[in-house]
Every structure is written in structure tokens, then in C-alpha cells.
Amino acid sequence: MTDLLKLSGVHTHIGRYHILQGIDLAVPQGQVTMLLGRNGAGKTTTLRTIMGLWQASSGEITLGGMRIESLATPDIARLGVGYVPESMAVFSDLTVKENLILAARDAAMDDTQLEWIFGFFPALRRFWLSRAGSLSGGQKQMLSIARAIIEPRKLLLIDEPTKGLAPAIVMALIECLKEIKRKGATILLVEQNFFAARELGDSVLVMDNGTIVHRGEMADLAADVPLQERLLGLSLEAHQ
């Protein structure tokens, strides 16, 4: 399978801190690649470095064969990379509609795509003209994901979408992400919720101290409790 995204020997410094210490990873086209690891392992920094929000100090990042590590964030976004940050970062002062208008950029919103999104997230239709700041945490996460998929994207970078959400909303999000996956999207997904990771992931990368310490199939990691304990300090049962 072709790799859509590749990182080779990527280092990222934030101030004096050396966060990513030579990351090598590949995200195959049409797959969901899980990026797991303990807090502070460098997962969010990896996504932000790919997105150009933090500049890689060295190394290569390619998207569909094109070098992107020196591009500015807007140019990377315009190459078809959608980003859902951990903080959701919806624009609170704008309505749901206005948030999506901005996400659609130059194009008008595609009604079919919008209806598909409403199918998963009916709350967005109901609160179409409400300020995003008045949405609940779960609804904000739905909006944040909707913003990333309102236009077709080559690659989605999603950072801990289930964090802090109620179980029912987590299930709805998982169903939505599964459907996005079925439509052939390529996703690099950071997740602490192992249940969600097991449900969604095709392959898995585990980070520790700014490096990739494990790569393999998600199903293999899900089946190997001692490996989970060693890499993540958890077992699947503990997170079900």
C-alpha cells in the first residue's frame, strides 16, 4: 500500500526543549494509523509539526511524495490536510454555520456532504445558527470534526477526539470516524482511549520520549496485553 505521509528523521525543538528526537513514520493511504503513547511522549507535537504549526528543526516530511516540512501551515492545509486539535478550537464567537463556512474556504459548502455530516451529528443541524461557544463539549468536538471533513481532505490529523467526552458521545464519534474511514480517508489519529483506538486503528505507532518505540498492526497490539502494559502502562481490560 502506498504511503501518503512519511516522516524521516524529524526533530522538533520548542524553545530549549528537544521534543521530537528523530521520528520515522509512515501513514498508508486509506488507513487509520493510531499514534499512541503516554502523556508528554510527543504525539501532539508530531501532529503540529506535520501541520507546520511548529517547524521541524531537521528531517523530511512528505505528503504524497511532496516535501512539506518547510511549508507554512496554510499551504499545508491547502494541500488537503485537515486538522482537529486536542482543544477542538472551534470559534466560539461564530455560529456553527460560520465555523463551517470558514472551513469550506473558497468553495461553497457541499449539500450532500453537509447532509452526511448531519446524519452523524444531528445537533449541528439543530444548532446551525447558534454560537459555537454555547455548545457542549461533545457538540464542539462534533463541530471540530465536521470542520475537518466538510471538504474532501487527503489526510486527517486528529488529536484525542474522545478526550473528556461522555461515553454516548464517544460512541457516536467512533461511528462517525469509522464511516469516514469506510469512505477511504487517510487518518493519523492520536488517542488515549484504547477502546476507541482498537475500534478504529488499522496500524499503530507508539511513541515514548519523542521517538517511535513500536510499530505494527493495531489488532496485534490489542491482542497482546503484556506489550500494552510495557509500552503504554495499561491493559485493554482496564480501559474497556
Strand partners, 205: 35, 215
Closest to other proteins by CB, 2 or 70 = 70
> Least distance in Å: CB of 111 to other proteins?
19
> How many Å apart are CA 70 and CA 127, to the nearest integer?
39
Note the residues at the interface with other proteins (CB under 8 A): 51, 53, 72-74, 77-78, 83, 85, 89, 91-94, 98, 101-103, 105, 121-123, 126-127, 130-131, 133-139, 142, 147, 165-166, 168-169, 172
Closest to other proteins by CB, 93 or 229 = 93
> Least distance in Å: CB of 75 to other proteins?
8
Closest to other proteins by CB, 190 or 212 = 190
CB 34 within 8 A of CB 189: yes
For the record, the C-alpha cell of 2 comes out as: 502506498
The helix (H) or strand (E) run that includes residue 37 is strand 32-37
Cβ burial, residue 233 (10 Å; 0-12/13-18/19+): exposed
Closest to other proteins by CB, 9 or 133 = 133
Closest to other proteins by CB, 124 or 197 = 124
> How many Å apart are CA 99 and CA 110, to the nearest integer?
14
> Least distance in Å: CB of 99 to other proteins?
8
- Terminal CA-to-CA distance of the chain, rounded, Å? 31
